[in-house]
Amino acid sequence: MILSLLLSGFLTLVELNCENLFDCHHDSLKQDTEWMPDAVRHWTPDRYWRKVNSIGQVIISCSEQSLPDLVALVEVENDSVLRDLTRRSLLRNAGYEYLMTSSPDLRGIDVALLYQPFSFRPICYDYLDVQPLEGMRPTRDILYVQGETVNGDTLHVFVVHAPSRFGGEKATRPNRRIVMERLIDAIQLLPPSAKVVVAGDFNDYADSPSLQFLVASGLHNVTREAMGEHGAQGTYRYDGVWQSIDHILVSPALCDSVTHAFVNDAPFLLEEDKKYGGVKPFRTYNGYRYQRGFSDHLPLVVRLRF
């Protein structure tokens, strides 16, 4: 089945915010002390390994016919975490390799791309740094990977984690805009016919100025209307309202290649929303209360046919 999918030119891409995939060790250069065994979250090795395996379980569940070819991950701490995920978790026999950033983010969180070497071969990669505005905290680099698909197409993949809305949406809007401008500047260096995918957590909705800027610059938000099959009407639920701050966008050269775009809301990724009714993502922590869940975001899945 996997071979037939590859020969027919299908490629499956997943985007997932992992909700603080930290290890249990303090990085003296980062503000990560809350993720220690003796800290407020009691982030013990047992909880860490459960989290690593949970993320592996989420990724496996995103494609019924075969494992996803590409997985854009947000909120991963470092190389040790990615090595544990790909070599020592439920994914240890999946064959994933990875590339990730090493950003100046104060908490130490980064972005990464998992890839299946038999369906995507990286040619080159880079970290696109974002120069912060005055008064803006250092933010995550944008990961750029150029690779060749199994059928010989060149694919340009960008993984983004834009600054949060902490401090107010309007007040922090310029922080996200500067990231989008850095992204578009890089894309505009590519040929007009380039096949580009941008995936990540934008901390903005489809109709927010930052996403509208990307669309006005020529990208297409193929997950704008993405929904799940078990009640999810977005990737994130806040105060009982479903929204999507995770997005996957493609260049015009890839628009006609998108055959599926949906939210993976498998029942095990959901829990009852006792306050507002319905369901919500089954997250790892509710405030500071550990509840053995997966993430506060649901994964996005896009399937492409070249």
Per residue in 111-168, pLDDT tens?
Answer: 999 999 999 999 999 999 999 999 999 999 999 999 999 989 999 999 999 999 999 9
Average pLDDT rounded to a whole number, residues 34-41: 96
Average pLDDT rounded to a whole number, residues 49-72: 96
Per residue in 247-261, pLDDT tens?
Answer: 999 999 999 999 999
Gap between the Cα atoms of 248 and 300, Å rounded: 8
Q: Please report the pLDDT score of residue 64 as a whole number.
A: 84
Dihedral angle, C-alpha 150, 10, 71, 142, nearest 10 °? 70
Strand partners, 10: 305
Strand partners, 99: 113
> Could you tell me the pLDDT band of residue 1, with boundaries at 50, 70 and 90?
very low
> Could you tell me the pLDDT band of residue 7, with boundaries at 50, 70 and 90?
very low
Q: Please report the pLDDT score of residue 170 as a whole number.
A: 95
Q: Is the Cβ–Cβ distance between 148 and 154 less than 8 Å?
A: yes
- Contacts of residue 133, defined as CB under 8 A and 6 or more positions apart, other chains included, come to 174, 175, 178
